[in-house]
Structure 1
Amino acid sequence: MIRHITLGRTDWQRSRRIQEAIVSGQISLGGNRPLKIYGLLSCNSGKRMKMENRVFFRDQQEALSAGYRPCGHCMRDAYRLWKQGRCEDD
């Protein structure tokens, strides 16, 4: 997991490092740290969150192992599966 605010001092530095990490495959998903939700980088819900709450993941396995759940907007199928599994555990 990579926190957005640790990627540089300025917006330009952070933006540049995020692009490099996406191209190199270090980042493929974004998440909201307080809510413990992850989703696609293109998700409108994720684009609206505060920078200090944003984290990045390499893949779904990394996000799930960190205790995050799929976004119900951009990852509907994964969210349904997560919710079914969670309801079965209760």
Structure 2
Amino acid sequence: MTRKTYTLLGADRVPYDSPTSGTLGGHRKGRIYGRLDCPTALRAIAKGGYVTQRVFFADEATAIAAGFRPCAVCLPQEYAAWRRAGERCVS
């Protein structure tokens, strides 16, 4: 019996094999992460785009540590907090 493995992105942005699937998806080039059912990501995938840049994360902490930001569409509260934090750093 062969066990399925999933390729996830670590905090160091290096892919690794995991016995469990990721809980969040992301776009490598845009450095954005969001829910797996994000309507914006699903639309891009349906149009044939996005897939080659798709990455997966075990959790939100890993996505943030890897330098990705939350999606404004599917994670609006997290995105707003990220924006507020960035505004404080600029001042």
The answer to whether TM tops 0.5 is yes
Q: Would the aligned equivalents of 2:8 and 2:58 in 1 still touch at CA under 8 Å?
A: no
Structure 2 segments unaligned to the other structure (5+ residues):
1-6, 10-14
Q: What is the percent sequence identity of the aligned residues? A: 32
Alignment length, in residue pairs?
71
SS of the aligned residue for 1:38 comes to strand
Task: Using structure 2 for the length normalisation, give the TM-score.
Answer: 0.70
Alignment-derived partner of residue 61 in structure 2: 61
Question: Aligned Cα RMSD in Å?
Answer: 1.9
Question: Cα offset for 1:27?
Answer: 0.5
Moved segments of 4+, more than 2 Å? none
Q: Where is the helix percentage greater, Structure 1 or Structure 2?
A: 1
Which structure 2 residues correspond to residues 32-47 of structure 1 after superposition, within 5 A?
32-47=27-42
Q: Where is the strand percentage greater, Structure 1 or Structure 2?
A: 2
Structure 1 segments unaligned to the other structure (5+ residues):
7-20
Alignment-derived partner of residue 30 in structure 1: 25
Task: Using structure 1 for the length normalisation, give the TM-score.
Answer: 0.71
Alignment-derived partner of residue 12 in structure 1: none
